[in-house]
């Protein structure tokens, strides 16, 4: 592939921000802050928040490395990415990226986990779970450090590289962030990353990058609880499930979002309804669980579902004594098909 002509892609002002540099062995990644408020006004770009493994793609001569945030090389875990990375058109680059496993048009970290058993032995898993790598930033190219350039300029240069599957460019938008976030959530994305359009690349966590997550809510039946650990009082975590034709299907444990006073009161309430056997169709693999007559509905906020049908990042919003357990069928927008086994 033909090499990118960097000077032709930059204005004189932008060229002044670029300096000559040897290929860096490692660059500490820039990280996004969690954003409670959606940015408003001009000056922001926003792109899809992917749920995979964050890494830096290095092409240094004929060698390719996929370096994680902790400095580990994952090239042996994802060998099928290397030929496509060689086709990018440069033997000297560092790009910021995310490796994902797709299920339809949605990314699935549960599927990706099958590929993370260890480097050097991905052959069988590679056939079962194909992956893509999405490049979303360019930090170094052909002996030049690009990190002082605005992110929109770095992405312009990145877009000029030659992309072949399974390497993909991460598109961005610069219109209303709130509108894009609503669309992203409706499509089942994890959320967006909003970035200051004029921002340079700064290692470490920065308010110039903001993580805007799609939060889901659902109603679940409390079927048990675990004992508290350490200084925690009352309840360790609630074991919750959703109604299905087969019965109560386990959906996961909810241990955050509960204040101390509620924990104590909740423990007393649950003990009064304790029963010796599990109310779940398949008892969950929890250590030392205590079971309860299923009568209490919990409203839970969470980020998504694992491949095994478990809640991801659940947090208790409130208990709903005003609802019957028949109303607790999981996510309001429709949970995945409950998995009775496993």
Q: Is 49 a catalytic residue?
A: yes
Q: Tell me the DSSP string of 273-298.
A: TEESS--BSS----SS-EEE-S--EE
Q: How far is CA 163 from CA 133, 135, 170, 173, 305, in A?
A: 11, 10, 11, 19, 31
Contacts of residue 26, Cβ cutoff 8 Å, sequence gap at least 6: 56, 67, 71
Long-range contacts of range 298-301, CB-CB < 8 Å, 24 or more positions apart?
Answer: 298/219, 298/220, 298/221, 298/222, 298/238, 298/240, 298/254, 298/328, 299/217, 299/218, 299/219, 299/220, 300/217, 300/218, 300/219, 300/220, 300/240, 300/254, 301/215, 301/216, 301/217, 301/257
In angstroms, the CA 281 to CA 341 distance is 9
End-to-end CA distance of the chain: 48
- CA dihedral sign of residues 72, 76, 80, 82: positive
- DSSP helix/strand/coil, 30: strand
- Please name which of 118, 109, 97 lies closest in space to residue 27, comparing C-alpha atoms: 97
Residues 6+ away with beta carbon under 8 Å from 277: 291
Which residues are CB-neighbours of 88 under 8 A, at least 6 positions away? 1, 59, 161, 162, 163, 167
130, 52 Cβ separation under 8 angstroms: no
Catalytic residue among 49, 155, 195, 213: 49
Active site residues: 49
């Amino acid at each position: 592939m033909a090499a990118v002509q960097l000077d032709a892609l930059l204005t004189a002002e932008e060229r002044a921000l670029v300096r000559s540099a040897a290929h860096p062995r490692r660059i500490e990644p820039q990280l996004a802050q969690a954003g409670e408020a959606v940015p408003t006004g001009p000056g922001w770009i926003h792109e899809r928040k992917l749920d995979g493994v964050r890494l830096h793609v290095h092409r240094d001569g004929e060698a390719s490395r996929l370096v994680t945030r902790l400095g580990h090389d994952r090239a042996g875990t994802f060998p099928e990415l290397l030929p496509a990375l060689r086709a990018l058109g440069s033997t000297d680059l560092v790009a910021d990226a995310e490796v994902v496993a797709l299920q339809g048009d949605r990314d699935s970290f549960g599927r990706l986990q099958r590929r993370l058993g260890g480097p050097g032995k991905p052959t069988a898993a590679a056939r079962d779970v194909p992956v893509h790598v999405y490049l979303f930033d360019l930090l170094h190219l052909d002996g030049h450090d690009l990190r002082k350039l605005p992110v929109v300029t770095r992405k312009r240069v990145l877009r000029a590289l030659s992309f072949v599957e399974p390497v993909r460019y991460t598109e961005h938008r610069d219109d209303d962030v709130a509108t894009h976030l609503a669309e992203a959530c409706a499509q089942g994305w994890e959320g967006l990353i909003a970035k200051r359009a004029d921002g340079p690349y700064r290692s470490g966590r920065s308010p110039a990058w903001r993580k805007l997550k799609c939060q889901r809510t659902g109603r679940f039946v409390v079927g048990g609880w675990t004992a508290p650990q350490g200084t925690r009082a009352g309840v360790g975590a609630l074991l919750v499930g959703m109604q299905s034709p087969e019965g109560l299907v386990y959906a996961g444990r909810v241990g955050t979002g509960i204040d101390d006073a509620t924990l104590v009161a909740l423990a007393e309430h649950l003990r009064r309804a304790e029963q010796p056997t599990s109310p779940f169709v398949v008892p969950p693999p929890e250590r030392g669980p205590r079971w309860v007559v299923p009568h209490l509905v919990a409203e839970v906020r969470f980020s998504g579902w694992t491949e095994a049908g478990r809640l991801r990042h659940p947090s208790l919003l409130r208990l709903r004594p005003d609802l019957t357990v028949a109303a607790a069928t999981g996510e309001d927008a429709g949970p995945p098909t409950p998995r009775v086994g496993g």
